[in-house]
Structure 1
Amino acid sequence: MPKQIISASEMERYGYCPLSWYLDLRGIDAEGDEVNTGVEKHKVIGDSLKNLLVEEEKSRETSTTLMTIVGLIMAVVTIALIILWLSTDVLRQNMGVILLIIGIGWMLIAAFFLYKLLLSTEKIDQLRDDYNLGEETIETPDGLTEETPVLKSRKYNLAGRPDYMIKENDLRIPVEVKTGRRPKAPFFSHVLQIGAYCLLSEETFQKSPTHGQIRYGFENEPHNVDWEPKLKTLVLEKIEEMNDVLEGRTKAHRNHKRVGKCNNCSRRKGCPERLRN
């Protein structure tokens, strides 16, 4: 029997608490206002990134159209001037004038597309400033391929889709955006998740990323997490642990002794190992 595919987001839940992850698999849903708020904020982030990429694609199309029109204008005007310069025939001179008028008409169309391009560029700059994206080229999983909007690794039975990826030449740097406050150092569960995305990037593009990024809101600087052998070993160990639970060789248990963590857990009501005050 083939192993069950594990998602990168599941690895984040497993890193937070293996038992919470297992309860989710058993159908015990997360509860609490913070869960719904987080989902809504994440949706807003995803929609904003898609809007940016759509706007950039429209800008590229407008730029291509504008360059085509400019090329046509140059060709028409050049032909018209040649006709007017060389021809003494009235009919041909009239044809040259008509071509010049056509060229002027195309200039008006070009001006319209230039206006659209300027508006689009302004909107793109504003969106990038709002999300502190700088000039880096970004991709969302939906834009990687039409057939595979989710990154997959058959070798490790792993799948996932980061919020977006930074394209640096032939590298893809996965980025995960979190909606909570920015900690001094990224949480272990978030490091595990971004490690899973780095592994998926490595497997999908056959090129190891130098690092992954965790962003706690767009207004803060990202945490860079180096994709190093130590993290890769940790990710593979956790995948193996999760497979052991899924195949019944071991059981999932709470991985901490913190009452406060249990009190704040979104699955505390259905947890058989919940710590109490």
Structure 2
Amino acid sequence: MGKEWISASDVEKFGYCPLSWWLSRKKTEEATGEELEEGKEEHEEIGKKLDDVKKKEKQIKLLENIILGLAVSSTLVSMLGLTFLHPERIFNKVFIFLSLIWLLAATFFLYINESQIMDTEETKLERTILIFAMVATMFTGFSFSFPVSNDLLAQVAQVVSLSWLVGASYWLKSSFTLQSEATVTRKKLKVEEGEIKYVDKLEKESKLLESEEYRLRGRPDYILEKEEALIPVEVKTGRVPEGPFFSHILQIAAYCLLVEEEMGKRPPYGLIRYGETEFDIDYDDDLEDLLLEKLDDMRESLKKGEVHRHHHREGKCENCSRRDICPESLV
């Protein structure tokens, strides 16, 4: 029989008090309390807002591609219109050569896009942009290959070009609006740097990070990417301490280990946020060794089937959500 799975939140409970962790395993007697419920609601609200920011920033990237595609396409169509008015043979070969380069590049990227396993709305729109660019490029090549003087065709090309520019302007405005909304939300949540790579949405099923080797699993509140480094972040509600609590340090260490195991990048540090106060927790070898030691202690406790309080601090018992069902409570 393999080792039992342990969650990062269990590591936090064990770090606070082994007996509190042990009591939390008894689901039918699990204490709730107003503070726990309020904390859960606050986490849900943060998760929703961060997920909204993540979606908007993804839309912004998509809109940037749309704007670029429309701008390039309108330019090419505009050039097409000019050739109907002023076909100059001296530029024919040059522009046909450029047209072929654009066409080959677009074909290559279209092939790469089609080879992707996931066929999301984003890839469909990007495919449409590429096709538009290809068609516009072919029109340009044809216009130089067959020099014709036709005012009507030139006018049609200019109208199409202007229409696409209007479309690009509309999407640009939408992009600015989304960027503004995302920036405001980031400032409110004090998440002003880094790309949001992961969010624990609580009310929805988000990816569970797992380490098969250490039989550890969990979901950090969110993961940021800063300068190519993945940084797990844990948000704590309630009072703001002068320094991070030991149990919370263990929990963020667990998330650092999970990020490394799941995503292949070792975080240089993790973040613990208490309100507007933020603490960087270096994820070095010493902290990793301490985490693994605590995991061994937890499994040893499970094996023995007996756990006791490991402190003599009344304040800890006073703030413990399981004090009413604890046989060793000091209060």
Mapped pair 1:98 → 2:156: yes
Note the 1:16-95 alignment, pairs <5 A: 16-27=16-27, 28-86=29-87, 92-95=150-153
Partners in 1 of 2:193 and 2:321 — Cα distance?
38
Whichever residue aligns with residue 25 of structure 1, its letter is R
Which SS does the other structure have where 1:66 is aligned?
Answer: helix
Structure number with larger C-alpha Rg: 2
Match of 1:149 in 2: 207
Which SS does the other structure have where 1:252 is aligned?
Answer: coil
Q: Gaps (5+ residues) in structure 2?
A: 89-146
Partners in 2 of 1:89 and 1:18 — Cα distance?
85
**Do 2:85 and 2:154's aligned partners in 1 also have CA atoms closer than 8 Å?**
yes
Of the three residues 287, 291, 298, the one matched with 1:242 is 298
**Do 1:170 and 1:207's aligned partners in 2 also have CA atoms closer than 8 Å?**
no
**Do 2:12 and 2:248's aligned partners in 1 also have CA atoms closer than 8 Å?**
yes
What is the TM-score with the length of structure 1 in the denominator? Answer: 0.90
**Do 1:214 and 1:225's aligned partners in 2 also have CA atoms closer than 8 Å?**
yes
Partners in 1 of 2:263 and 2:153 — Cα distance?
56
Match of 1:4 in 2: 4
Match of 2:255 in 1: 197
Partners in 2 of 1:114 and 1:43 — Cα distance?
32
Q: CA RMSD in A?
A: 2.1
Of the three residues 289, 307, 319, the one matched with 1:233 is 289
Whichever residue aligns with residue 316 of structure 2, its letter is K
Which SS does the other structure have where 2:210 is aligned?
Answer: strand
Compute the displacement of 1:85 (Å).
Answer: 1.4
Compute the displacement of 1:150 (Å).
Answer: 1.6
More helix by share: 2
Compute the displacement of 1:154 (Å).
Answer: 0.9
Match of 1:15 in 2: 15
Match of 1:107 in 2: 165
Deviates more, 1:201-210 or 1:60-69: 201-210
**Do 1:59 and 1:121's aligned partners in 2 also have CA atoms closer than 8 Å?**
yes
Which SS does the other structure have where 2:86 is aligned?
Answer: helix
Partners in 1 of 2:265 and 2:193 — Cα distance?
22
> Paired residues, what number?
269
Whichever residue aligns with residue 112 of structure 1, its letter is Y
Q: Deviations over 1:187-213 (max 9, x none)?
A: 011001011111112222343221111
Partners in 2 of 1:260 and 1:132 — Cα distance?
30
Of the three residues 155, 172, 187, the one matched with 1:129 is 187
Partners in 2 of 1:206 and 1:103 — Cα distance?
46
What is the TM-score with the length of structure 2 in the denominator? Answer: 0.76
Match of 1:120 in 2: 178
Compute the displacement of 1:175 (Å).
Answer: 0.9
Runs of 4+ residues over 4 Å off in structure 1: 87-90
Mapped pair 1:140 → 2:198: yes
Partners in 1 of 2:292 and 2:53 — Cα distance?
34
Partners in 2 of 1:89 and 1:56 — Cα distance?
45
Deviates more, 1:205-214 or 1:156-165: 205-214
Which SS does the other structure have where 2:4 is aligned?
Answer: coil
Match of 2:132 in 1: none
Whichever residue aligns with residue 42 of structure 1, its letter is H
User: Alignment identity in percent?
Assistant: 38
